[in-house]
Structure 1
């Protein structure tokens, strides 16, 4: 899942070497936090959050067979 998020984010941003995905497990939930270069935040979020929503949709679809809930956060 981390590789999927990283691949999508690197294709969008201008500074792909600064894309980082952190994974944290909590009770019954896995939280992935996406961090990008400050100049690329707008590209990852998109107009009215459309890009961020699309990334979340892909991640949720990929995690649909998992027994744990998956959440994606995007750091500002």
Structure 2
């Protein structure tokens, strides 16, 4: 899942080398914290949060197989 998020986000940003994804597992839930360059934050969030919502949708679809809940936090 971490690789999936990195692949999607690196294609969107101007500074792909500064994309860092932290994985924080808890019981039946995994939180992914996404760190990007400050000028790329808007590109990852998108207008009205549409890009971020799309990334979360893809993550949730991929997580269905493992029956874990995933969250994405953009830091």
Structure 2 length-normalised TM: 0.95
Q: Name stretches of at least 5 consecutive residues in structure 1 with no aligned partner.
A: none
Instruction: Write out aligned runs for 1:41-56 (5 A).
Output: 41-56=41-56
For 1:70, the equivalent position in structure 2 comes to 70
Q: Aligned partners of 1:18, 1:57: CA distance in 2, in Å?
A: 23
CA-based RMSD: 0.7
Count of residues in Structure 1 that have an aligned counterpart in Structure 2: 75
Q: Name stretches of at least 5 consecutive residues in structure 2 with no aligned partner.
A: none
Deviations 1:3-55 (A, max 9, x none): 10000000000000000000001121111111100000000000000000000
The alignment partner of 1:40 has SS state of: helix
